[in-house]
Amino acid sequence: MKKIILVLCVFGIHINAIGQIDTLPLKSIEGITNKMIELISGEIGEERNWEEYRNLFLPTAQKTSLRKTKDGKSKVNVMNLEEFVRNVGPYYARDGFEEYAIGLTINEFNGIATVFQSFYCRNLKGTYEKRGVNSYQLVYLEDRWWIASTLFTNETKDTPIPNVYLFKKYQTTSN
């Protein structure tokens, strides 16, 4: 009997946790893209809500990054969602992390969208600070948006983010 009560309690807690996932941001493109960066942002030592994060993505989603190495070559890193949570997730809690949108460009047609979300990010230990672009592939299914994949790259001194991808207050006169 104790085992049955324990199983029911665990199941009840699981249902309650799922019921607390905020679904309003999933109804709009801006909402889901902002929610993604909101969920990875937080203080040093703060655990992220990875269940809510997973709920943003299709189960087959991939996260890809394109980075320039010190010798100027490009390097691509591809992870599925679980690899990202397992390999990158712990650094967000360890170092703290803040990311926010500094631009948004949306192209949408018939239930698909491609989004460029320019961002500023930094860790809270002061050892990392970048700007760049998150590129999202989104699909509209079951009365909400889903992230099918993400691709991001950071700006460099030689390749700054073009003004067309920045909100007016972040634009420069040199672009």
Q: What is the pLDDT of residues 137-169, one digit of tens each?
A: 999 999 999 999 999 999 999 899 999 999 999
Paired with 109 in beta bridges are: 112
Tell whether 88 is covered by a domain.
yes
Instruction: Note every long-range contact of 84-90, with CB atoms under 8 Å and residues 24 or more positions apart, other chains counting.
Output: 85/50, 85/53, 85/54, 89/48, 89/50
Please check the confidence at residue 81 and state whether its pLDDT lies above 50: yes
| Residue 15, beta-bridge partner list | none
- Whether 106 is covered by a domain: the verdict is yes
pLDDT of residue 103: 98
Do β-strands 144-154 and 129-141 pair in parallel, antiparallel, or remain unpaired?
antiparallel
- Would you say residue 4 lies in a domain? no
Please tell me the predicted confidence (pLDDT) of residue 173: 83
The answer, yes or no, to whether residue 170 has pLDDT greater than 60, is yes
Residue 56 belongs to a domain with what CATH number?
3.10.450.50
Instruction: Examine residue 2 and state whether it is found in any structural domain, yes or no.
Output: no
pLDDT average, residue stretch 33-46: 97
Does residue 79 surpass a pLDDT of 90?
Answer: yes
Q: How far is CA 47 from the centre of its chain?
A: 15
Q: How far apart are CA 136 and CA 116, in angstroms?
A: 7
**Number of domains, the chain:** 1
- Any domain includes 101: yes
Residue 21 has a pLDDT of: 66
In a domain, 37, yes or no: yes
- Calpha distance 111→145 (Å, rounded): 9
Q: State the pLDDT at residue 70.
A: 83
In a domain? residue 16: no
151 vs 67: CA distance, rounded Å: 11
The pLDDT tens digits for 57-68 are 999 999 999 998
Residue 20, pLDDT score: 52
Residue 40's Cα: distance from chain center in Å?
7
Cα atoms found within 13 Å of the Cα of residue 141, Cβ hemisphere only: 8
pLDDT > 90? residue 7:
no
CA distance 131 to 175: 15
Range in 17-26, 108-117, 121-130, 150-159 the model is least confident about? 17-26
What is the pLDDT averaged over residues 27-40? 97
For residue 173, tell me if it sits in a domain.
Answer: no
Range of the domain at 130: 23-167
